[in-house]
């Protein structure tokens, strides 16, 4: 398995909210529609207060949720 390395400056603005964030990496080399993927994940997770995605790289996302219960659903 490869290590996932993220530069600190990429995450600097979300560090105060780290308890409500998860890193998500999609392991594929095939083309996929990012927006369709994000929309599908929102539907699957059915969070109460919503979820936001930040693109950190082509296959790495920062997933932000509003509360702990939602984070457990996403996890």
pLDDT in tens, 48-62: 888 889 888 888 888
User: Quick one: which of 16, 36, 20 has its CA closest to 70?
Assistant: 20
In terms of residue numbers, what domain contains 38? 8-74
Q: For 38-57, what is the mean pLDDT?
A: 89
Mean pLDDT of the chain: 82
Residue 15 maps to a domain: yes
pTM of the model: 0.72
Question: Within a domain: residue 57?
Answer: yes
pLDDT-derived band at 1 (thresholds 50, 70, 90) equals low
CA distances 65 to 17, 31, 32, 48, Å, are 10, 26, 23, 9
Handedness of CA 72, 39, 1, 58 (dihedral sign): negative
Total tally of structural domains belonging to the chain: 1
What pLDDT band is residue 15 in, cutting at 50, 70 and 90? low
Residue 30 in domain:
yes
Can you tell me which residue has the tokens 């095939």?
A: 30
């Amino acid at each position: 398995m490869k290590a996932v390395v993220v530069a600190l400056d990429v995450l600097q603005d979300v560090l105060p909210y780290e308890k409500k964030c998860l890193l998500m990496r999609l392991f594929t080399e095939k083309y996929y529609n990012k927006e369709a993927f994000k929309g599908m994940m929102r539907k699957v997770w059915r969070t109460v207060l919503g979820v936001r995605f930040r693109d950190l790289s082509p296959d790495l996302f920062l997933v932000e949720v509003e509360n702990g219960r939602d984070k457990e659903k996403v996890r």
